[in-house]
Chain A
């Protein structure tokens, strides 16, 4: 199955810095979603950006979408230690949600 690819695979930053994670996808999407996962268990939906949108904000999160490059980025501003988690992008095409491999973000206090 096709999957998105997150870049980088792992990111370590200091508290207060911004974290940027990128995602590339392969299909013609309806929308793209970002999820967060703590400790390898359930995922939490963070934000959804539709294929006709270019940028979306939610609190300290900013997501961009470039359909010509089939890529998206997730920016977390003013990071906190509690932001430490794995972040996944998920492309939606039809009824299926296809996840990338994820970026492991570590925010050091």
Chain B
């Protein structure tokens, strides 16, 4: 596609429920990142996928968070047993190569609200 697509754009869920967030990167982009951003804050790194390499999961805040990337394209971020502190905008970004020289293209994000 022309850009990075994320769905849903907004999600309200009850505390304790599981949620899945989806990211469709730009076709051909080998690198994919997930970040989250709390209100008025900077971006917090969550996870990084690059080609067929093992993902860098070092930013995931707890074992309730997991992500996968199928076929080197679409990625899903799953949050189990959601908590109120999980409320944030979850942003996905992709890059043409696993390097930084081209900059990253971000999606519009999924705003998650846990009530």
Chain B interface residue bracket vs A: 20 to 34
Tally A residues with Cβ within 8 Å of B.
Answer: 24
Decide: A40 and B37 in contact? CB cutoff 8 A: yes
Closest to A5 in B: B42
A52 interface contact, C-beta 8 A: no
Q: Which of A13-21, A43-51, A60-68, A71-79 contacts B (4 or more CB under 8 A)?
A: A43-51
* B91 partner, pick from A42, A48, A92, beta carbons under 8 A: A42
Known: A96-B45, A98-B45. A43 touches B91 (CB 8 A): yes
Is B106's CB under 8 angstroms from A44's CB? yes
Chain A's closest residue to B35 (CB) is A99
Q: Which residues of B contact A43 (CB under 8 A)?
A: 43, 91, 93, 104, 106
> In the bound complex, how far is the Cα of B12 from the Cα of A69, in angstroms?
44
Q: In whole angstroms, what is the CA distance A43 to B106 when docked?
A: 6
B8 to chain A minimum Cβ distance, whole angstroms, is 13
Q: Is the CB of A100 within 8 A of B104?
A: no
Q: Is the CB of B106 within 8 A of A42?
A: yes
Query: Could you give, for residues 29-63 of chain A, a 1 whenever the CB lies within 8 Å of some chain B CB and a 0 otherwise?
Result: 01101010000111111001010000000000000
A61 CB to closest chain B CB, in angstroms? 13
Enumerate chain A interface residues (CB-CB to B < 8 A): 1, 3, 30-31, 33, 35, 40-45, 48, 50, 88, 92, 95-102
Please list the 4 inter-chain residue pairs (A to B) with the smallest Cβ-Cβ separation, ordered nearest first: A45-B103, A92-B100, A99-B43, A101-B42
